Amino acid sequence: MFRRFCLLACLAVSSAAVTFADLDAVPRSESLADSFKVSLVRPEGEPANSGQKTIVEQASQQLLSDAERQTLDDYDAIFEKYSLFCNGRWLGVQVLQDSQDLLYLQHIVYMKKPDVIIETGTYKGGLTYFFATILDWIQREEETDRPSYVLSVDRHHPDLVFAANWFCPPCADCVRSYTTPVWGRKVRFIQGLADSQDTFQEVAGNLHDLGLLEPPTGDIKESKTIVVNLDANHEFDGLLKELVYYAPFVTSNSYLIVQDAKLDKIWGAPGPTAAMQAFLQLCPPGEFVVEDELKFHAYSQHIYLRRAQVTVPHSHFMQAAMKVAAGTA
């Protein structure tokens, strides 16, 4: 029976008109989202076991029905009710992320190959370690020994919170990320409040020491790439400060990730999404663009933004925020 099925399948494939795209002729885009603006979809009415599918020139995010979106919201509710984020693991390390978001994050890091990832909200160091291992992998693949680092910011060292029952139960068999060789090679930990001026200055000092800043302006050199991931503050005011401090370090066509954007909806109060929207009001039009298509499995807890253009210096954001605070904007 199996041989008969294989024979019929092979005959069907061999008799079908197969065309091949000239991949060299396909234009390349600086936006990682462009690769996911096409979907392979089972047509409406086709049975679930049907192999009949059609290529649709739309991202999966745009194709979801209201009922399908509700299914994702229901999953979100389950995810939060049972604190499933506590169950994430990466190479033995506890990492508080949904597995689908880890796929999106690794894709950004691998494709952009940043010189530095600025991360706020270290906690136990799980996502820090995840980023560090991807950077380490990239460096092993490259012919030149280009250094790359994670600058990770938190008020507490991960050693302090590893055994503490904060957010998640202690994990006795988890690897301590901050004791690993890759952490030693790739991570610079900065202890302090992510939304404080002193911590921001220390981050900028590290960027200077690593040769990423252009004197005398303090802006990032055009030849360098920086990704920023914000996961410390989730309240509106604190996160808006983080955005003003660190988002301007994102380089041209690199990415800013605002974590846990769903909390506005869960809390019923302004949170990460509202802070991100307020930050975009401080930006020139088109400076940062939200790329929902990067959520290529249709579900995410975060917001992914690409810096589509760099038209203003870092100081612009500080000045704009001061005007907003003073009510003179």
What is the DSSP track for 266-318? HHTS--HHHHHHHHHHHSPTTSEEE-GGG-TTS--SSEEEEE----S-HHHHH
Mean pLDDT score across all residues of the chain? 90
pLDDT for position 19: 66
Structural contact between residues 242 and 120, judged by C-beta atoms closer than 8 angstroms: yes
Is the residue at 121 inside a domain? yes
Question: Phi and psi at residue 257, in whole multiples of 5°?
Answer: -115, 125
Radius of gyration of the chain from its Cα atoms, rounded to whole angstroms:
22
Cross-strand pairs, 213: 220
Distance CA 257, CA 41 (A): 28
pLDDT for position 12: 41
Global confidence as pTM: 0.91
30-88: per-residue pLDDT in tens? 899 999 999 999 998 899 888 899 999 999 989 999 999 999 999 999 999 999 999 99
Q: Please, how many CA atoms are within 13 Å of residue 53, restricted to the half-sphere of its CB?
A: 10
pLDDT for position 27: 77
Is the residue at 17 inside a domain? no
Structural contact between residues 132 and 186, judged by C-beta atoms closer than 8 angstroms: yes
Quote the distance between the C-alpha of residue 91 and its chain's center: 19
Structural contact between residues 101 and 130, judged by C-beta atoms closer than 8 angstroms: no
Q: How many domains does the chain have?
A: 1
> Can you tell me which residue has the tokens 């009001």?
281
What is the identity of the amino acid at 181? Answer: P
pLDDT for position 328: 60
pLDDT for position 16: 46
Is the residue at 210 inside a domain? yes
Is the residue at 296 inside a domain? yes
Measured over all CA atoms, what is the biggest interatomic distance in the chain, rounded to whole angstroms? 78
Angle between helices 236-246 and 197-209 (to 10 degrees): 30
Is the residue at 282 inside a domain? yes
pLDDT for position 324: 66
pLDDT for position 72: 93
Is the residue at 299 inside a domain? yes
Is the residue at 47 inside a domain? no
In tens digits, the chain (329 residues) has pLDDT values of 544 444 434 434 444 455 677 878 777 888 999 999 999 999 988 998 888 999 999 999 899 999 999 999 999 999 999 999 999 999 999 999 999 999 999 999 999 999 999 999 999 999 999 999 999 999 999 877 889 999 999 999 999 998 887 788 888 999 999 999 999 999 999 999 999 999 999 999 999 999 999 988 889 999 999 999 999 999 999 999 999 999 999 999 999 999 999 999 989 999 999 999 999 999 999 999 999 999 999 899 999 999 999 999 988 988 887 876 676 65
pLDDT for position 216: 85
Residues near 84 by beta carbon (within 8 Å), at least 6 away in sequence: 78, 98
Is the residue at 176 inside a domain? yes
Provide the CATH number for the domain around residue 253. 3.40.50.150
Structural contact between residues 230 and 257, judged by C-beta atoms closer than 8 angstroms: yes
Helix (H, G, I), strand (E, B) or coil at 260: coil
139-160: per-residue pLDDT in tens? 999 877 889 999 999 999 999 9
Distance CA 239, CA 318 (A): 14
The domain containing residue 230 runs over which residues?
Answer: 66-326
